[in-house]
Amino acid sequence: MSDKRKPEWAPLNSGSEFASRIVSGENTIVNPMSNRDNKKTARQYELSELVEGVRDSNRTLLSKAITLIESNSEKHFQMGQELLNQLLPLSGASIRIGITGVPGAGKSTFIENFGLSLIEKGHKVAVLAIDPSSCISKGSILGDKTRMEKLSCHPASFIRPSPSAGVLGGVARKTRESIILCEAAGYDTILIETVGVGQSETTVRSMVDFFLLMQIAGAGDELQGIKKGIIELADLIVINKSDGDNIQRAELAKQEFSNALHYIRHATDSWQTKAVLCSALFNDGLDVIWDVVQDFKLATINSGAFKKRRTEQSIQWFESLLAESVLHSFYQSKAVIQLLPELKEKVSQGSLPVALAVSTLISAGSR
Ligand SMILES: Nc1nc2c(ncn2[C@@H]2O[C@H](COP(=O)(O)OP(=O)(O)O)[C@@H](O)[C@H]2O)c(=O)[nH]1
Ligand SMILES: [Mg+2]
């Protein structure tokens, strides 16, 4: 042991009894002046801290709470669900608006300017996204959120990009739960952006009160992804980019949609779907759209359709999550994991009837 390792106060000529060991410093000691909260991960928060943070509308803590919900780890599931359970009574008092349309239709531009105009009216706006492409690849067809720079800077807004998939209930469950958290944090208008690809419109329709389909003039039905049935989901068709040289064509498109709307089933009882013009870029027509949303809310609350839809949505959510959970735990069962390859092999060789293979597996999995 060298003298260098002895404390300064050790007597001269003392022996190794005064020697000390140098221990490496603890990395966790942080400067109390620095913003420690930003460095904590969602899991390092106490449940009560997150609950109170969301209640106080603290955007950092709301963000952490959503990250907890989005965690793919089974371990965090319990804490996330407890968080939801405590905040659920504070949710529900908002209007949930879904916005769909092909990439480039102007959804993000619309959300930014519409959101800002609502904030000016005194609302608090949360924006969530469901991006089906994020399930398949890392790419995003909803585009970057830098388009909403002005809105995201505003303290009365909260913007959350699409979660990654790969968990029970997938992106849809996470978005539904994020809606609850945002409402508990006091956001009274929830805007959910999605792209008209695959199942995403139906998914969004199943979690919103009002569904807005954004179209552009002259792009043609196929380009706009108008599949049979999509118009039937909409409570409002917005023909965007009605500005400059485009105004006439937009007007024509509005006429066509208005005519088509005479022949289809409307998405919501006691509500007549209509088509309106707008220029998201030039802030034109946004107030009219908000008026339509207000009219819709009033009409459907009065007729009971608003409440009925929310109730149905909860039951539907419960049923789909239940079905998925049952399937999940079935495939997790040891007996199923063991037996499945063998049964598959036999079925593929034609040596076991398919229905028998299924019933064998079911009884093994439910033991
Ligand atoms: N002329 C015009 N361009 C617009 C309007 N809304 C959006 N755009 C433009 O259309 C492009 C796509 O807009 P974006 O909001 O990203 O579309 P999204 O993919 O549907 O989210 C951008 O270059 C926008 O500036 C509009 O009302 N008028
Ligand atoms: Mg976009």
Identify which of 99, 107, 108, 109 to mutate to test ligand 1's pocket (most ligand atoms within 8 A of the CB): 109
213 Cβ inside 6 Å of ligand 1: no
pLDDT score for 29? 39
Which phi and psi angles does 349 have, rounded to 5°? -85, -10
Any atom of ligand 1 within 6 Å of the Cβ of 284? no
Q: pLDDT tens for residues 221-233?
A: 655 656 667 888 9
Radius of gyration for the chain, computed over Cα atoms and rounded to the nearest angstrom? 27
Phi and psi at residue 239, to the nearest 5°? -95, 105
Residue with CA nearest ligand 1 atom 2: 241
Which amino acid would we find at residue 231?
I
- Cα of 142 from ligand 2 centre, angstroms: 4
**229 — alpha (psi -120 to 50), left (phi > 0) or beta?**
left
Contact 266, 257 (CB under 8 A): no
Please give the share of the chain, as a percent, with pLDDT higher than 90: 57
Confidence of residue 194 (pLDDT cuts 50, 70, 90): confident
The predicted-structure confidence for 254-295, as pLDDT tens digits, reads as follows 998 898 888 888 899 999 999 999 999 999 999 999 999 999
Q: Is the CB of 243 under 6 A from ligand 1?
A: yes
Rounded distance from Cα 115 to ligand 2 centre (Å): 14
Torsion of the alpha carbons at 255, 258, 264 and 268, rounded to the nearest 10: 150
Token code pair at residue 14: 């003392």
Report domain extents, the chain: 42-286, 318-365
Nearest C-alpha to atom 9 of ligand 1 is from which residue? Answer: 106
Over residues 47-60, the pLDDT tens digits come to: 999 999 999 999 99
Phi/psi-derived region of residue 161, left when phi > 0, alpha when psi is between -120 and 50, beta in every other case: beta
Assign domain 42-286 one CATH number from 3.40.50.300, 3.40.190.10, 3.30.43.10, 1.10.10.10.
3.40.50.300
pTM tops 0.85, yes or no:
no
216: CA distance to ligand 1 center in Å? Answer: 10
Query: Among 174, 225, 227, which residue's Cα sits nearest to residue 203?
Result: 174
How close is the Cα of 128 to the center of ligand 2, in Å? 11
- CB of 101 closer than 6 A to ligand 1? yes
C-beta 240 within 6 A of ligand 1 = yes
* Residue with CA closest to ligand 1 atom 6: 106
Most confident of 104-108, 136-140, 183-187, 221-225: 183-187
Give alpha helix (H) positions in the chain.
47-55, 59-70, 74-87, 107-120, 133-136, 149-153, 170-184, 200-205, 247-261, 286-303, 305-332, 334-349, 354-365
Using a 6 Å cutoff on CB, does residue 104 contact ligand 1? yes
Is pLDDT at 22 greater than 60 in this prediction?
A: no
Residue 279 CB–ligand 1 contact under 6 Å? yes
Q: Starting from the CA of residue 162, give the closest ligand.
A: 2
Provide the 3-class DSSP secondary structure of residue 336.
helix
Taking 70 as the threshold, does the pLDDT of residue 77 lie above it?
yes
The closest-lying atom of ligand 1 relative to the alpha carbon of residue 103 is 19
- Rounded distance between C-alpha atoms, residue 302 and residue 18, angstroms: 84
- The answer to whether 195 and 141 are in contact (CB under 8 A) is yes
What is the chain's mean pLDDT, rounded?
84
Q: How far is the CA of 116 from the centre of ligand 1 (A)?
A: 16
Which is more confident, 131 or 202?
A: 202
CA 132 – ligand 2 centroid, Å: 13
Q: Mean pLDDT lowest for which of 8-22, 168-182, 195-209, 279-293?
A: 8-22
Sheet hosting strand 189-194, strand order edge to edge? 157-160, 125-130, 189-194, 95-100, 210-216, 236-240, 274-277
Q: How confident is the model at residue 1 (pLDDT cuts 50, 70, 90)?
A: very low
- Pocket flag, ligand 1, residue 40 (CB < 6 Å): no
Confidence of residue 2 (pLDDT cuts 50, 70, 90): very low
Q: How many residues are recorded in the chain?
A: 367
Burial status of residue 219 (CB atoms within 10 A of its CB: 0-12, 13-18, 19 or more): middle
Q: How confident is the model over 341-366, as pLDDT tens digits?
A: 999 999 999 999 999 999 999 999 88
Ligand 1: nearest atom to the Cα of 101: 20
Residues 6+ away with beta carbon under 8 Å from 14: 6
Stretch among 8-12, 22-26, 126-130, 214-218 having the lowest mean pLDDT: 22-26
Q: Whose CA is nearest to atom 24 of ligand 1?
A: 106
Residue 242 CB less than 6 A away from ligand 1: no
- Average pLDDT on 157-174 reads 74
Task: Fill in the DSSP letter of residue 25.
Answer: P
Does the pLDDT of residue 115 top 50, yes or no?
Answer: yes
Q: Which of 177, 354, 209, 207 is nearest to 292 (CA)?
A: 209
**Residue 256 near ligand 1, beta carbon < 6 Å:** no
Asked if 220 and 257 count as a contact pair (C-beta separation under 8 A), the reply is no
How far apart are the C-alpha atoms of 229 and 266, rounded to whole Å?
Answer: 10
Distance in angstroms (rounded) separating the CA atoms of residues 261 and 271: 12
Ligand 2 centroid distance, CA of 221 (Å):
20
Q: Give the number of the atom of ligand 1 that is nearest the alpha carbon of residue 279.
A: 27
Say which residue the tokens 């801290």 belong to: 49
Distance of alpha carbon 293 from alpha carbon 325, whole angstroms: 35
Q: Say yes or no to pLDDT of 111 above 90.
A: yes
Pocket of ligand 1 contains residue 143 by CB under 6 Å: yes
CA distance between the termini of the chain = 65
Q: What is the pLDDT of residue 36?
A: 46
| Statement: residue 158 has pLDDT above 70 | yes
